[in-house]
Structure 1
Amino acid sequence: MTLVDAAQHWLHSVGLYLRWGGGLVAGSWLACAAPRFFVEVLYVLRPAPSRPAPDPHSASARWQAIQRDHDRIKDEYRRLRIDPFRADELAVLADLTVPEAVALVQGLAAASDAADTANPPTYEKAVLHLAHSWRQAQARAADSELQAPSDRSSEPRVCTPEPAVQPAQRRPCPPIPKEQKCR
């Protein structure tokens, strides 16, 4: 046997050992991974549960939808009350001589009272009335914002507590008195 034959025989043996070792490693990996693989396949192929779809007209779904509408309107009104950049719009909705503002306040009170009761038709009716009055109040505030610049330029602004003053107009504050020097 020559040196070349011995090298070939050694390389052939190493190749066999590597193939067998790799085969054993691959086989053990497959033995460990196969159950997980089959579980995943069975999970994907399982039949869908035969649960009925929730009825969107059920009482609880309607009650939740009405509550969401009520909360949405209350949140929008609350954001309006704290937003300093919407002062003109708030001035219209805070003036209780404006019929839309009165209807909005009454609608908020009625919806809050109806929410305390467990009578869904009454609550739904109150929230629908509130939504209608909210839309009317927003339209009135938008109309007064559009008319306010022309009204402001044509009428003198006077600091009076009379209700005849347009609610969108801002009354000027009295001047701050100057400090007097002590003698």
Structure 2
Amino acid sequence: MWFLGDTLSIKVYQALAAALEMRPERRVILSDSGNFPSDLYMAEGLIKALGRGDELRVVAPDEVTDAITDEVAVTLLTEVDYRNGRLHDMGEITRRAQDAGAVTIWDLAHSAGALPVDLAGCGADFAVGCTYKYLNGGPGAPAFIYVAPRHATRASPALSGWLGHAAPFAFEAGYRPGKGIERMRVGTPPVLAMAAL
């Protein structure tokens, strides 16, 4: 299930927070040195905000599969390295991570629109991406988040914005998450940018 809106950094934060909550007994976020830096910044910020001793473990891209252990809660990887075009094997890494009990997050900012992506086919848990690059949305275009249908009703929205509320125009005092992927909405969508996209 997909949702379009907000920025890529917000979507990374949401996916990572939801994934960590799904594996509360684990504390390692595994990424690689080829990941886009802002993904790592968002992970560092979330770790600090949670204050529970989580660790961002960054390895070389060719060491990712060997680094997936039963300590890993989440893999946070960019499918295509923006610097050199190296492509991770999404199917293999997803399988290895899930076999080890980890949740997967794929950043598709440098692959969506440039090459075929089959999240459902490989069983990915979460994915995020921007639309301003290879999807031709232009500067300021919204980002997207994918939550596998099996997780959509239990993925917790770390950023509980008014538009992700079950009844946003009721203006209730307390937050109730929307149904499924709708709970991953945060603020008012950029309607003109979405129309252009």
Q: Tell me whether the two structures share a fold, i.e. TM-score over 0.5.
A: no
Scaled by the length of structure 1, the TM-score of the pair is 0.20
Greater strand percent: which structure? 2
Which entry has the higher C-alpha Rg, 1 or 2?
Answer: 1
Structure having the higher helix fraction is 1
Q: Which has the higher contact order (CA 8 A, sep 6+)?
A: 2
